[in-house]
Amino acid sequence: MATATGICFLRTSLFQTFSFTSKPHSVTLFDNKVHSFHLRAANIEGSEIEGKEEVSISEKKRIFVAGATGSTGKRIVEQLLAKGFAVKAGVLDIDKAKSILSGPNPDLQIVKADVTEGSARLADAIGNDSDAVICATGFRRSLDFLAPWKVDNFGTVNLVEACRTLGVKRFILISSILVNGAEMGQLFNPAYVFLNVLGLTLVAKLQAEQYIRRSGINYTIVRPGGLRNDPPQGNIVMEQEDTLYEGSISRDQVAEVAVEALLHPESHYKVVEIVARTDAPKRSFEELFGSIKQH
Ligand SMILES: NC(=O)c1ccc[n+]([C@@H]2O[C@H](COP(=O)([O-])OP(=O)(O)OC[C@H]3O[C@@H](n4cnc5c(N)ncnc54)[C@H](OP(=O)(O)O)[C@@H]3O)[C@@H](O)[C@H]2O)c1
């Protein structure tokens, strides 16, 4: 257990080296929320409501979130609901999910979904009514040295396969900066070294990313810097893949980027690296995603 605790400390603290002053990020005004969602939801590839300005509640886009009880996953669920999406929360523990996720909500469904249990079971969990999948899983700390490989690589691959089976065309992955550290000259970056010593975590994530990119699915891979639980401090900086090797960002902003990716076609088939900086200018998501090249 002591080892696991040490692993936990290293896994989180190595990234968390920068602090910023508080500045909340943009929010959607409640009065405009539903109308705004209707118009913007048409941007999701394969939308059945393209061109329509009014849809009923039952036609809300439904997003499956894997790892929905996680520190980032729960924020993604909250933000999706706030922006007018319906959510299917994929979790390991239903009771835990009920205590973590916002109370009874007709737009929130909680389903059991262990990404290591194979694509067929995941396809059952995702179901025929999900329009997109957001993956916010991360291996549970344990003494299982293979856990990162099982969850962060094969688990994500299973999710993509489930999407292919079901015809779900949109996939958002929360990955990490430095996954390709070896290629970008960061082989000896302490974060790269330690995270890989702890079960080849970053290598596992990179393998999953490569699988997604070969799969043909419309992806947005979001690679955040060190994750912080405190509210946003500074504006989002978004860079090309294999660019950022330090910095941190609030999980609220990571969730926001994942949700906004669903609303902006500029994010399609892209890998984006994100941190927050107090000296960065505030940019719209069109600008941020639009500044990233497709590969
Ligand atoms: N920590 C950092 O500084 C940092 C930096 C960059 C990127 N990242 C990455 O960002 C992502 C989100 O990080 P986080 O700290 O928000 O994650 P987190 O709080 O550790 O949440 C991970 C989620 O994955 C779930 N999970 C674990 N094994 C699973 C399985 N077999 N099947 C389905 N779900 C499973 C966990 O379920 P339970 O809730 O039941 O445990 C949890 O909900 C992770 O991929 C992480 O590696 C982290």
Residues 51-84: pLDDT tens digits? 344 445 458 999 999 999 999 999 999 999 999 9
In which domain, by residue range, is 80 found?
A: 60-289
Instruction: Check if the beta carbon of residue 125 is closer than 8 Å to that of residue 67.
Output: no
Which of 227, 245, 253, 275 to mutate to test ligand 1, by most ligand atoms within 8 A of the CB atom? Answer: 227
In a domain, 33, yes or no: no
How many Cα atoms occupy the beta-carbon half-sphere of 55 within 13 Å?
A: 21
Angle 280-285-290 from CA coordinates, rounded to 5°: 95
pTM attached to this predicted model: 0.85
The model's confidence at residue 199, banded by pLDDT at 50, 70 and 90, is confident
Distance (Å, whole) CA 155 – CA 137: 9
Over residues 183-204, mean pLDDT: 89
Atom of ligand 1 nearest to the CA of 11: 1
Which CATH number do you get for residue 88? 3.40.50.720
What stretches of 22-145 adopt beta strand conformation (E)? 62-66, 86-91, 108-112, 132-135
Residue 176 lies in a domain: yes
| Region of residue 84 (phi > 0: left; psi between -120 and 50: alpha; otherwise: beta) | left
Q: Is 180 in the pocket of ligand 1 (CB under 6 A)?
A: no
- How many other β-carbons are positioned within 10 Å of the β-carbon of residue 194? 16
Overall number of domains in the chain:
1
- Confidence label for 274 from pLDDT (cuts 50, 70 and 90): very high
Would you say the CB of residue 93 lies under 6 angstroms from ligand 1?
yes
Q: 10 Å Cβ neighbour count for 88?
A: 23
Mean per-residue pLDDT, 33-48: 39
pLDDT in the model for residue 25: 33
